[in-house]
A and B are shown apart, each in its own frame.
Chain A
Amino acid sequence: MSRSTRLDRVFYWLGLIVTFWAVLTFLLVPMAAALQAALFRHGSLAMFEAISELARSRRVRAALWNTLWMTAATTVTVTIVGMFQVAVLEYFRVRGRGFLKIGFSTPLVFGGVVAAAGYNFTYGPSGAITAALTALFPLIPRDWFVGWLGVLFAHTFLMTSFHFLFLRAAMRRVDYSTIEAARSMGASEATILRRVVLPVILPTVLAVTLLTLITAMGSFAAPQVLGGPDFHMLSQMVLTLNGLRRPDMAALLALLMGLVLMGLILLSQHFEAKGAYTAGAKTTTRIQLRAIRNPLARIVVTALAYLLAAVYLVPVALIVLFSFAPASSIGIEVLPSSFTLANYARVLGGGAAFVPFFNSMVMSSIAVAVGLAITLFAVPIMVRKRSWLTRGLDICFVLPWIIPTMLLAVGLIVAFDTPNPLVGNLVLLGSYWLLPIGYVIVSLPLMVRFMRSAFIGIDPAFDEAARAMGASGPYRFRRVVLPLVAPTAILVAGMKFNNLLAEYPLSAFLYNVNNKPLPIAIVDGAVSADPDQAAVSLVYVTPIMAFSLVVILIAERLSLGRTPESSNL
């Protein structure tokens, strides 16, 4: 064995040990700690007592009821809006499809805490729409939007991205020749939709509905910002309980929610797999848009489509416009009458407003870099060597996707609120590092999933060719494999960086005065009555949206252009 290969082996084993330590310390131990806190008290099983204690709390009962009916209502409204979008974009011929597509795609760049703040800014007490409405109808209270209405409104329009992404794709996979065949046999439009199109997209519809259900149930930022003082959902109760120094109760509630969510996720995966099966790989004729014959129906559908696009685009436009407006015009003017860069100067000028921005940039960068390093090291090993060890690692990496973030957050808190030998007897709670560590953990599932398909997509002949020309393992990885997966790595890093800039649940549990991140500052600004705060908040939100847009455009380009797989003849 030469010296360089011996060095390679040392690095290999060192990397494996570090990876296993990280998984054990920051994923498995916190999960165990959360379970322990939720189920045991003073060393004995106390789950049922704790549940009855939870059930006695009127606030918890109210939150449970709110969550249940809000989830049910959201599922219905989102399905209606989402199906309508898909029909307008992929089935019927409606004028201005490109414009509508841009409108309907906004939830992709405008989601979570960013969107909640944006809706509050548009429709909330100091919002431009509220200003316009109260000017026209003085009887409307300024807080008309605050409460369940705002939450349901935000859910309805923001949770359609699953429909936009997956159901549209399913619709495009419908083989048009089957529709033509049905028509040639005399089927009516309604029959074709019901008997030919719907069965093909049904598994995807079910999967997408379940995803909506999951998202609505775990909704956190929307009720936090838009729910006001009286409308609370379960996620908020977990945070409240944790704030009341009852991490055991918080863990239990998060666990109970988690069990329900996990069941739903598994169910949605089942439907997703079925959907992929239905699609098949055969060459199909692309679906052709159908003209709506009835002129009245056509006008109604077109008008609704444009109204919907307006609902999507107005908040985004107002945010960008008002981020350039003087703070004094917020809540007073419907459209800003003058423009200034003062808000941007305040955020980027390095003062107090700059700190959350800076914190989030640093922590997200660290988390993405560490996540990418772990992924690039571990995924090729998991792809190449199948053993119980790598399979276990694989499962661990995907766990944070199935486990609700709140449960993980509570787990991290209870695992590291006392000196922990796994991290050299440090108390991580209250330090700078617990939040970025959490960011890494929640970033891993997506990174592993993307990088795995990138590595699997590499033609093994590349590796063999390099080997036949004498290249060693690390050399092949650096010169041949890495450049092939680099586009995916860059893309996934960008996506994750962007997500982390606006990550709310984990941030809400784990931040402290030393590392207050952007999403917390955005929520603070959104619920604050101070127009200066609101103006700063708008400046926070605008670059996040711009960055998401860039990432999505790059993603689209990459999947159209050079992917590692499409390099053949």
Chain B
Amino acid sequence: MADSVLSLNKLDVGFPGMTVVRDLNLDVADGAFVSLLGPSGSGKSTVLRTIAGLLPALGGRVLLEGQDITALPPERRNVGIVFQNYALFPTMSAFENIAFALRVAKKSKAEVERRVGEVAEMAGISDQLDKKPASMSGGQQQRVAIARALVTGSRVLLFDEPLSNLDAKVRASMRKEIKRLQSELGFTAIFVTHDQEDALTMSDLIVVLNHGKIEQIGDGRTLYRKPATPFICEFIGVSNELAPPLATRLLGFDVKGRSFLRHEDVVLGAAAGIPARVNHVEFLGAHSRIDLEVEGHGLSAMLIGDQLPEPGSTVSLGIRPGAAHVFQEVTG
């Protein structure tokens, strides 16, 4: 692809004697925000570390702006890394943290000051440069980390689960912050996370990894509405897995294999539905979860509003047309 800034070409990653992810192909457009999403152990961090050069590739190639960087050491790749917890050096001021790579490269004092000044201005931390990381807020630390990754002119930034240790509220504001900086500064982001909300809210493209395999690549809507595998159905959003007889009954055709139905796609009070018994109603604030029993099978539905069925009552159950995801078993 001509306009892709980063390409992974049949890349094998892992450790000597243990390949974690095999035959990975990915093209990342300039300025895109790409998430590598997967549960722990899926290999997403290993992929990121291989792109960074912290781990050697076991096979295949990594191309940056068309140039093969597979064999280059990390410092010559010109990709910036934002670490988990940011890895800001606690003994150095924000200025010295950002200036670190320039000092290693023995840039002149004037140039160091100019470039740190520029990138700090862009990140909005010009007035924080004298502070030590410990006396900065989480948001400021994140900006310093991004500025440090950008100062050598990197166009591609790798984020290694930077939000994983934060609580939900801080996490949400950090997400916005990263997204804002990315759209203002125009860098390309590869973002590793195990949190689907991170991936759905920020990404142009999500790569879902599971046990070292790519399950699906697509934007958030596609993953949610058109999951390619049973794993995606279960990993993104909340779904009911329908037992084959129930699926057959609800969908009106013979289902052999696995099928899934999202909670919000279950319709209660349908005109020509099947009777279902309400076992349990769980009020969750904005919505409620209804646990049902249909012909001996359990099923959950999501309802918005305060008009909730009584536990023990019977309701008529249907599904939104076309909402079920069916993975027919290929036989023969």
Contacts and interface: CB of A to CB of B under 8 A. Distances in A.
Interface of A: 459, 461-462, 464-472, 475, 479-480, 483-484, 486, 562, 564, 567-569
A472 B104 CA distance: 8
A484 B101 CA distance: 18
B147 to A, nearest CB: 13
Contact of A567 (B75, B84, B100, B134): B134
A465 B87 contact: yes
B317 interface: no
B85 A569 contact: yes
B87 A562 contact: no
Contact of B74 (A468, A562, A564): A468
Contact of B87 (A461, A471, A483, A564): A461
Given A464-B83, A465-B87, A471 B134 contact: no
B90 A469 contact: no
A467 B85 contact: no
B105 interface: yes
The 9 A-B residue pairs whose C-beta atoms are closest, nearest first, are A470-B75, A567-B90, A483-B91, A469-B101, A461-B87, A468-B74, A465-B87, A461-B83, A470-B104
A480 B89 contact: yes
Interface in B73-97: 74-76, 80-81, 83-92
B84 A461 contact: yes
Given A459-B85, A562-B134, A569-B165, A468 B53 contact: yes
A264 to B, nearest CB: 41
Contacts of B91: 480, 483-484, 486
B166 interface: yes
A80 to B, nearest CB: 44
B54 A467 contact: yes
Contact of B166 (A465, A466, A480, A569): A569
Q: Which residue among B81, B91, B101 has the maximum number of chain A CB atoms within 10 Å of its CB?
A: B91
A484 B85 CA distance: 16
A484 B103 CA distance: 19
B141 interface: yes
A567 B80 CA distance: 22
B133 interface: yes
Most buried by B among A464, A465, A470, A483: A465
Interface centre among B101, B105, B165 (most CB of A within 10 A): B101
Contacts, number: 74
A479 B86 CA distance: 18
Contacts of A468: 52-54, 74-75, 80-81
9 contacts: A462-B87, A464-B81, A472-B104, A484-B91, A562-B90, A562-B134, A567-B133, A569-B85, A569-B141
Given A479-B100, A569-B166, 17 more contacts: A462-B89, A465-B89, A466-B89, A466-B104, A467-B74, A467-B75, A468-B52, A468-B81, A470-B101, A471-B100, A484-B89, A484-B91, A562-B90, A567-B88, A569-B86, A569-B138, A569-B165
A470 B105 contact: yes
Contacts of A464: 54, 81, 83, 87
A465 B141 contact: no
Contacts of B100: 466, 469, 471, 479
A479 B85 CA distance: 20
Nearest to B141: A569
A140 B133 CA distance: 66
B145 to A, nearest CB: 9
Nearest to A459: B87
A466 to B, nearest CB: 7
Nearest to A565: B90
Contacts of A466: 89, 100, 104
B152 interface: yes
B152 A469 contact: yes
Interface residues of B, number: 31
Contacts of B54: 464, 467-468
Q: Main SS of the interface on chain B? A: mixed
A471 B104 contact: yes
Interface of B: 52-54, 74-76, 80-81, 83-92, 100-101, 103-105, 133-134, 138, 141, 148, 152, 165-166
Contacts of A465: 81, 83, 87, 89, 148
Nearest to A476: B104
A379 to B, nearest CB: 18
Nearest to B152: A469
Contacts of A567: 88, 90, 133-134
A473 to B, nearest CB: 12
Nearest to A484: B91
A384 B46 CA distance: 21
Nearest to A465: B87
A250 to B, nearest CB: 48
A562 B91 CA distance: 10
A475 B104 CA distance: 8
Contacts of B105: 470
Contacts of A569: 85-86, 138, 141, 165-166
Contacts of B166: 569
A469 B106 CA distance: 12
A520 B148 CA distance: 56
Contacts of A486: 91
B201 to A, nearest CB: 21
A467 B90 CA distance: 16
A564 B101 contact: no
Nearest to B166: A569
Contacts of B80: 468
Contacts of A470: 74-76, 101, 104-105
A469 B149 CA distance: 8
Contacts of B86: 569
A568 B83 CA distance: 12
Contacts of B89: 462, 465-466, 479-480, 483-484
Contacts of B92: 483
Task: With a 10 A CB-CB cut-off, give which of B53, B54, B89, B165 has the most chain A CB atoms.
Answer: B89
A312 to B, nearest CB: 37
A244 to B, nearest CB: 55
Nearest to A487: B91
Contacts of B141: 569
Contacts of B87: 459, 461-462, 464-465
Nearest to B165: A569
A472 B76 CA distance: 12
Contacts of B88: 567
Contacts of B101: 469-470
A2 to B, nearest CB: 13
A569 B101 CA distance: 22
A146 B148 CA distance: 68
A27 B103 CA distance: 42
A468 B165 CA distance: 23
Contacts of B83: 461, 464-465
Contacts of A562: 90, 134
Nearest to B96: A479
Nearest to B160: A461
Contacts of B165: 568-569
B75 A461 contact: no
A564 B90 contact: yes
B102 to A, nearest CB: 9
A484 B133 CA distance: 13
Nearest to A472: B104
A228 to B, nearest CB: 54
Nearest to B79: A468
Contacts of B134: 562, 567
A479 B91 CA distance: 9
A411 B86 CA distance: 51
